[in-house]
Amino acid sequence: MKSPKPPYWASRFLKWFVSEDLQEEICGDLEEAYQFRRKHHSKLRADSEYLLDVIRFFRPYSFEKYSRTKQYLPMIKNYLTIAVRNMMKRKGFTFVNIAGLAISLTVVLIVGLFLRHHLTYDQSFDHADRIYRLENDYRSQAYAPFRFEQYYESDRSIQLKNKVFLESFSSIDKVSMILPSESDISQQREFMLREDGHDHIVKSVLFTSTPAEFTQMFLPGFLKGSSSGFENDFQRILLTRSLVKRFFGSDWYEMDLIGKPIELASDSFENNQFMVAGIIEDAPSSSHFSYDLIVSVPRIPSWAAYTYFQTSSSESPAYLTQLINSRYEEIEPNYLEDERYHGAYVQALTDIHLSDRPVLYELSEKIQPGVLILFALVALIILIISWANYTNLSIALYSRRQKEIGMRKVLGARGKDISLQLMTEIVIIAMMAFPISICIGYFVLPGFNKLMGIDIGNDVLWNPIVLLSVFGLALISGLISGLYPAIVFNRRGLLKLFQAKLNQRNGRYGLSLRQLLLGIQFVLLISMLSLTTFIYQQMQYISQKDLGFDSCGVLVIPTQGIEQHQRLKATLIQNPAINHVGTGQVPGVDQYNQTTYLLQGHDEVYDDAHVVYADMDAMKALGIDNQGLNQLESGQDQIHLINQAMANKLMNIYGLQKDELIGMTLVDEPEYTDPETGAVGIQRTIAGILPDIHFFSMRYEVNPMIFAVARNVGWAYNSIIELKTDDLLVETISQIEEAYYQSGNERPFTMEFLDENVANLYQSEKQTLMLITVLSLIAISLGFIGLMSLVSYLVFTRQKEIGIRKVFGASTSQILVLINKEFVVIVLIALLVATPIIYQLANSWLAHFAYRIQLNPLVFIGVGFISLVVVVILVSLQSRKSALSNPTTILSEE
């Protein structure tokens, strides 16, 4: 019968720390004691007491590692000394590696912060995991705001129906309704704030009719004042820290601002008088809605509100959607009978920013997860390139130190000592890159914020998690880059160390790894350069494509109403610098709600059309012309034009000719019946057909559109002004601003250039192009700097071969061809490998555009040719000196 053995792991731990001189005695005694206990006690007690005995022996006098450490301390000091000497001796090698690794760490740091910013969107709120947004699915579109029963005419009690309905569910604790002024459904974007005779322009105002719930769900605390002063009454204002500092100065905290009366000039609500209830922190930068001040009002000044609710516990959005729709007819009686109503949709707060669900009137631009993946891949590519450079240069450098390594082995150094020495040198260089990368990030981050339109504070760089992450990455980089050369030189025998160079052509290890690393580098570089080229071509295609209207020299100015617009128009039309002044909906905007329609005489109803309202002068200002507009000149009040997309659809479905469409009638919203006249829908007789106009982004196909053009409209939300020339632009704008206020507008004067609005539709793509371009340049620079350094070392290792070839009559050009041959083959293979990869990536990115370029194979050929030429030039320049050297000198040195 076998004797019982103590726990294996405890015995291994004991043998690990006990000195070899004491190991047999101590381990034997403890094992005998364990066997005695097993005979007289339970196994659990014997195991526990054995573990206590092991712990009692965990003392310095029994430590084997303690004595070893005392022996190794001088050796570690020696490793560090030799490492520093070698770095100082080879300053070029040290600089290239530290610079390359520091830059790559900085790229990973900046991109990592960018990813963190977007991946943590809306997570700074308390209980963010239990907050959801209620959206509305109507017709074939989804709406981020949830509409009121009577739209603009809804009083507070009607608006609160949605809130009361949601609170009737036992799992829902709170419901908040808001309207940020930056939303497209807001009647006013900017406001004039007046206090003590001073006027201030505020660009971001958030209205809420549920101040108590909003405070509890979204505000973490008050810098001054209290939540009760805001929650318990309306006509109260909360000011943010940055707004107060801008308006009242840096000593605002010493002022008595709580209870201060403030006027918020607007025609959106009846009472413009408010009172300051508190000062709060600025809105989180990673939130899908923002604000400079928050206003509590009895009713939301719009036809809908963004509705959020908080549950008692985290629930699945799909479950909540099903739960709410099970009783949806309580707030929408037509839900069960009318096919246009598709019910509610619940979106988790933390999913809004990264969601691929298209919704109308979103509060902030979403980011495609594919873009984040692309940036992460590019950062990884740059890091891999720096690792490859580091490893290649280390192998090349240590090949010149083989005799030194051989002598150390002769003098008694063990293989693991050699490996530890080499790893120490490489890791020290990697560690030196760590603080440099943090410093570079400190200076680069503000520019990156400006480029990407985000706000990441520099203080995040000193976050312990960020510092530890970068430090750990630097350490891993050193370990990965130094692992291979350390293993190779550890295993290499003495004769090989003294007889051969590791990087000679017949080298077993250096050749295959070097080619592999170089091949990976070129695959990544060619891929990045090709992708950047395709993105640039797509952006050029968008900027040069005919939009169907004129955007240059067109200003758009919000106005308060038709009377103000008419007075402004009467003044501006006399200005010789102005061509036309009109009003209506303008292109260069996000998509808005579609309408249903049918062709009179047919029953099929479609819901894919947009209706554009404008007056005749607006069409002239936009350069949109059609013979049907002549009817307005002849005295007709209104005409209706359709675009080519709608004409094609109707012709294909009903077999009509283009000329036959003129004079036919479309019935807009056929489900609507006028209660007074009994007329069905809105009758729109087709007066002409316009070419397709890219009213929205080219990410979307041009849908059917109806242009309702009037000679004189009965409403106006803006004034569209076409300038004759850009000359004296500042003076003309000053005259427009003066006329704006003289026409009775009380809102702050704001204007937008239409061409800038169109360009802003592709802001995220431009940011992607710019960032990818910068990162590509960094990757290319790192790759070719590493290549130049590597070639210089490789040429050095082949000097004897070059000398012998020259003795036998080889010319300089033949030597250069010989050296370039290997690199040319690697580039060609890399091009073949990179082509299918980049083809898939480019197609994936272009898939977001309805109007896109075709991938041209010449781009791959061009990028490959450019890469080949650059490589040949760099290799030839680095090799030329050795190729021109006197072979006698080379061979005598060898």
Render pLDDT for 154-198 as a digit per residue (tens, 0 to 9).
Answer: 899 999 999 999 999 999 999 999 999 999 898 888 888 888 878
Segment 283-312 shows an average pLDDT of: 92
Residues 282-294 pLDDT 10s? 999 899 999 999 9
Least confident of 11-25, 198-212, 556-570: 11-25
Residues 253-277 pLDDT 10s? 888 889 889 888 777 777 788 999 9
Answer yes or no: is pLDDT of 890 > 70: no
Per-residue pLDDT, 402: 65
Residues 707-746 pLDDT 10s? 999 998 888 889 999 998 777 788 999 999 999 999 988 8
Segment 584-595 shows an average pLDDT of: 89
Residues 665-683 pLDDT 10s? 999 999 888 878 888 889 9
Answer yes or no: is pLDDT of 684 > 90: yes
Residues 848-887 pLDDT 10s? 888 999 998 888 888 888 888 888 888 887 777 666 766 6
Answer yes or no: is pLDDT of 561 > 80: yes
DSSP E strand boundaries for 89-196: 131-138, 141-143, 146-147, 172-180, 191-195
- How many CB atoms neighbour CB 315 within 10 A? 17
Least confident of 5-9, 77-81, 236-240, 457-461: 77-81
Answer yes or no: is pLDDT of 218 > 50: yes
Answer yes or no: is pLDDT of 316 > 60: yes
Answer yes or no: is pLDDT of 506 > 50: no
pLDDT band at 662 (very low <50, low <70, confident <90, very high): very high
Alpha helices in 507-555 (DSSP H): 510-544
Q: Which residues of 543-560 are buried (b: 16+ CB within 10 A; e: fewer)?
A: eeeebbbebebbbbbbbb
Per-residue pLDDT, 399: 63
Q: Which of 51, 189, 250, 321 is nearest to 589 (CA)?
A: 189
Distances from the Cα of 256 to the Cα of 219, 232, 253, 264, angstroms: 22, 21, 8, 19
Answer yes or no: is pLDDT of 425 > 50: yes
Per-residue pLDDT, 172: 94
Distances from the Cα of 379 to the Cα of 108, 113, 132, 158, 784, angstroms: 5, 12, 33, 52, 17
Per-residue pLDDT, 797: 66
Segment 533-542 shows an average pLDDT of: 89
Answer yes or no: is pLDDT of 78 > 70: no
Answer yes or no: is pLDDT of 483 > 80: no
CA 210 – CA 160 distance, rounded (Å): 9
Answer yes or no: is pLDDT of 396 > 60: yes
Share of the chain above pLDDT 70, in %: 86
Least confident of 80-94, 197-211, 214-228, 379-393: 80-94
Q: Are 693 and 705 in contact (CB under 8 A)?
A: yes
pLDDT band at 201 (very low <50, low <70, confident <90, very high): confident
Answer yes or no: is pLDDT of 413 > 90: no
Q: Is 32 exposed, middle or buried (0-12, 13-18, 19+ CB in 10 A)?
A: exposed
| Cβ contacts of 437 within 8 Å, gap of 6 or more | 101, 102, 103, 105, 106, 109, 470, 474
Q: Which residue has the higher pLDDT, 325 or 812?
A: 325
Per-residue pLDDT, 894: 52
Token reading at 550: 């004129």
Per-residue pLDDT, 505: 44
Alpha helices in 695-762 (DSSP H): 729-742, 754-760
Per-residue pLDDT, 418: 67
Specify whether the backbone of 173 is left (phi greater than 0), alpha (psi in -120 to 50) or beta. Answer: alpha
Q: To the nearest whole number, what is the mean pLDDT of the chain?
A: 84
Cα-based angle 685, 687, 689 (whole degrees, multiple of 5): 115
